[in-house]
Structure formats: structure tokens, C-alpha cells
Structure 1
Amino acid sequence: MKVSVYTADLRSELPMRYAEGGVRAGFPSPAQDYETEAIDLNKELVRHPATTFYARAYGDSMHDSGIDDGDLLIVDKSIEPQEEDIVVAFVDGEFTLKRIRMDRAAGCLWLMPSNDNYPPIRVTSENHFMVWGVVTYNIKRQLKRSK
């Protein structure tokens, strides 16, 4: 899965109405109080503004992890990647989006797709490799009509 990287512009605030009690996915409660408060998505989704950027996902290699073509990702460069994190990685001149697995016994790590149609990427000391950042949120478009 390829990614396009964008810097996060956090200079503005955009308070949005927020259903404080949550939204039920089951049967609605007619007695529920629907008072709302405002939240700012920048403050809600971005913990480290100086090291956070956005990326657009392209392809379907991470489909089984819930990341689809066109999804917007929030990526934090200050988070140390851990086993099973989904990361934006730079491997041999290209950005890719994969789940990270360490293989200390073999002296390598693996970048794992979440789609059986794609092979894992083995990364050794011979590769030009860097974890660019850890994916913290995935924003998915639900409205499937034309944009």
C-alpha cells in the first residue's frame, strides 16, 4: 500500500458538535438525552502537533486492518514503533504502509500486509529503511456517493 504524505496544519480550530452520550449502534433509547458539546478534532486526534502529519492510503494491502484505498491516516513520528503497530515506512526509496513485526532470531524485521494477496517485505541491514511514523488514527469516508 502506497501513501502520499502531507504536513498537518494545526493553526486553526474548528469546534464540531459532539453527541456526548455516544450514538447507539443497536436499538435507540427514546429517553436518552441528546445534549451536545463541542470538540476540536485537531485536539482530539493530534497528541504531538510538531511530529504529526497526514497520509493518504492508496491500494488494498491493508484492507483486513480496516485501511482502504483513499483513507486518510494520522501519523505520529514521535511514537516509537512496537510490534504489530501499523507504520508508514520508507524502504529502498519508497513509502509503504504495513504492520511491523520484529524477528530478532533472524536478525530482521517484517513489514506485513493485511491482505493475503500481498507478500510480506523482509527488511535487513542491507535495505535503506526507516520507520517514518506510527499510524494513530484512520479516517474513512462512509458516504459512497460522488464527492
Structure 2
Amino acid sequence: MEDGNLEIFKLENTEPLILKPLNESLKAGGYGSFPSAALDFPDDSIDFLKLLVKDPITTFPGRISGDSLKDIGVLDGDWCLIQKGIEAEPNDIVAAIIENQFFIKRFKPKYDENNQLQELKLKSENPDFSHFEINDETEFFLWGVVTWTFRNWRKL
């Protein structure tokens, strides 16, 4: 068993965070790459809060500790946004309370032919960490769905 790996915070400010995009599109691929997503904002500005948070009342920032999801690029010290009140879909990253500790894991349900939940696994994405097999005896609560993760690439 591992220690919990998620610290939850509350959004204190829901004022718009307006940034002006570059006039030049940023290409991440080779010739013929798709245009920048900034072109989707015709007024030449992006409200980052509106882009990232669909419902400020049910969205919570969290700080991740540990490397149980490192093989999918979620690392120790990354930040995430978690939205409560939306249904988890297979392969979503979810925040769950298991045995009174917060964790983030990959949501892996298995359904029978009648679309009834047959088994539920909360999967790590690192072979050094175990998965959680959720059953009737497991103290478990699905707290929310991770909608975004963030990493600081350079400390300023």
C-alpha cells in the first residue's frame, strides 16, 4: 500500500485571467502542422480560467505527489484540476478516497453484457506501484475526474 498522493485546494479567485496570444502560430510538428489553438479566440485574447474551468464551484486544484502515473506523463509535483459531479469514463484519471487517503489513478471499470459494473480497478501507470482492486469491502469514494494536469518547466 502506498501513501495518499494528492493534496486538494480550493479556487479562491474566479476572476478572468486574460492573456494575449502571440501573433504567430506555434507549430509543434513539421511542415503543415495544425494552426495554433489561439486562433480559436477571435478577440485576440484568452481567458485561461474560462478555458480550464467549466464550473468554478465544482472544480478544485490539486498537487500530486508520487510517481504512480509517471508512465503517462503525470509526475511528482505536477498540479491538476479536478471536477466533481461529472461521470468518470473508462481510462479517465480520477481522484478517489481509498481507505481515507486521496489518490489519483486511471479509472478501469469492466462491464458485463448488460452494461452492469462487473469489477473496478484503479490502475497505476508505473510498474513500481500496485493497482487498487475495488470491491464491496473497500472503503472507497470516487471524488472527481482530473480534467487538466500542469507542470512547471522552469522555476522563476
Q: Say which SS state the counterpart of residue 44 (structure 1) adopts.
A: helix
8 Å Cα contact 2:93-2:107 kept in structure 1: yes
Match of 1:127 among 117, 138, 142: 138
Paired AA for residue 58 in structure 2:
T
Which of 3, 6, 9 is matched with 2:6 structurally?
A: 3
- The secondary structure found in structure 2 opposite 1:18 is coil
Q: Name 2:66's counterpart in structure 1.
A: 59
The alignment yields a C-alpha RMSD, in angstroms, of 2.7
Question: Against the structure 1 CA distance between its residues 124 and 21, is the aligned structure 2 distance closer, same or farther, given a 3 Å change threshold?
Answer: farther
Query: Deviations for 1:81-101, whole angstroms, at most 9, x for unmatched residues?
Result: 111110000011111110011
Distance 2:136 2:9 in 1: 28
Of 5-14 and 86-95, more deviation after overlay is shown by 5-14
3-state SS of 2:51 partner: helix
Counterpart position of 1:68: 75
Matched residue type, 1:135: V
Q: 1:87 to 1:20 in 2, by over 3 A?
A: farther
Judge conservation of contact 1:10–1:49 (CA < 8 Å) in 2.
no
Q: Note the C-alpha offset of 1:9.
A: 2.5
Looking at structure 2, the residues matched to 84 and 27 of structure 1 have their Cα atoms a distance apart, in angstroms, of 29
> Shift of the alpha carbon at 1:16?
1.2
Q: 1:127 corresponds to which letter in structure 2?
A: T
Match of 2:102 in 1: 95
TM-score for the superposition, normalised by structure 1:
0.84
Unaligned runs of 5+ in 1: none
Letter paired with 1:108: E
Alignment of 1:1-147 (within 5 A): 2-19=5-22, 22-26=25-29, 37-104=44-111, 107-143=118-154, 146-147=155-156
**What TM-score do you get using the length of structure 2 for normalisation?**
0.80
How far apart, in 2, do the equivalents of 1:27 and 1:85 lie?
30
Letter of the aligned partner of 1:109 in structure 2? Answer: L
1:19 corresponds to which letter in structure 2?
Answer: L
